[in-house]
Amino acid sequence: MNVTPRPLLPKRRLAGAAALKLVTCASVLAACGDAPPGEGSAYTVRDSAEVSIVESVAPVWGDSLTRADPEPLVQVGSAEEGPAQFAFVGMGLLLADGGFAVTENAVGEIRVFDAEGTHIRTLGGNGGGPGEFQLLSNLFRYRGDSIGAYDQRLRRATLFSLADGGHRTLPNEVQGNYNAFGALADGRILLYSPGGGFRPDLEPGLQWVPTEVLALAPDGAADTLAHLPSRQQLVLEGGDTDQVIPAYYATQAVADDGFYWASQDRWEIRFFNGEGGLRRVQRRPLEPAPVTQAMIDAWIEANLER
């Protein structure tokens, strides 16, 4: 994708597929550039209790539209059996050398390609043994030459060397339905719960189900960094939850020294440091627009045509 708008996010390494979602969100917000704001700036910055508040009022690139190049940089796919044939692509991860890794969830594999789309090696596979997966739920960069993969069913992270394909499994003392969304520079892996389950602590109605954000150390111990909204769900009488479609979800990404968190019902991205402290809020102040019958009719017509 040849989109190079002036960056909203600080120049930190982002890890994981969720990082691409946040970068897209950042481009929409377009709150700040590298230079300090001046008169007539598209954004303002102020500090509140050691938290930087950045508010955008217009894109930093002006009125011109920023578009993705319609021609792909590289294309991988084949009708013939082999590593270029995919049935169920789960996640993709850009690598530091310009290559990329793609998960084939149908067989629990991670396939690594160079920048030209040539297959380098295949990692993992279906199973419960070392280096295998039963529910490959995320893929992220790890320190050194490694990438990490998380198995949500087995509740374990596996690190693979990109140099030789070797692997090791990290211990995990965390119990429950958690998923990884990236790793900090110090080797801690960040986990969150996608929501769901019985919640007697929430009032009946449409609610944001919160999650603990956990930092899983290489020795298996975990610390709670924050409690943040994870997914919007309908809470029934008694505490049972029912997923609502469409629903709002949280979007996450990890940097070397902290993590980003955004929920789809708010035009803002929050950055937390590696200990869970809020350090930066980047937002686009917008007034909500009411849904009109004309908007509903247009949506129905467009979907019927499709």
Q: Write the pLDDT tens digit of every residue in 50-99.
A: 899 999 887 766 666 777 888 888 989 888 889 999 999 999 999 999 99
Instruction: Give me the DSSP letters along 163-187.
Output: TT--EEEEP----SS-EEEEE-TTS
φ/ψ (deg, to 5) at 27: -65, -35
Name the region of 153 (left: φ>0; alpha: ψ -120 to 50; beta: rest). alpha
Residues 190-227: tens digit of each pLDDT: 999 987 778 888 889 988 889 999 999 999 999 999 99
**8 Å CB contact between 148 and 157:** yes
Report the Cα 53 to chain-centroid distance in Å. Answer: 22
Report which of 84, 87, 88, 89 is spatially closest to residue 74, judged by C-alpha positions: 84
What is the identity of the amino acid at 100? F
pLDDT score at 62 = 66
User: Is the pLDDT reported for residue 5 higher than 80?
Assistant: no
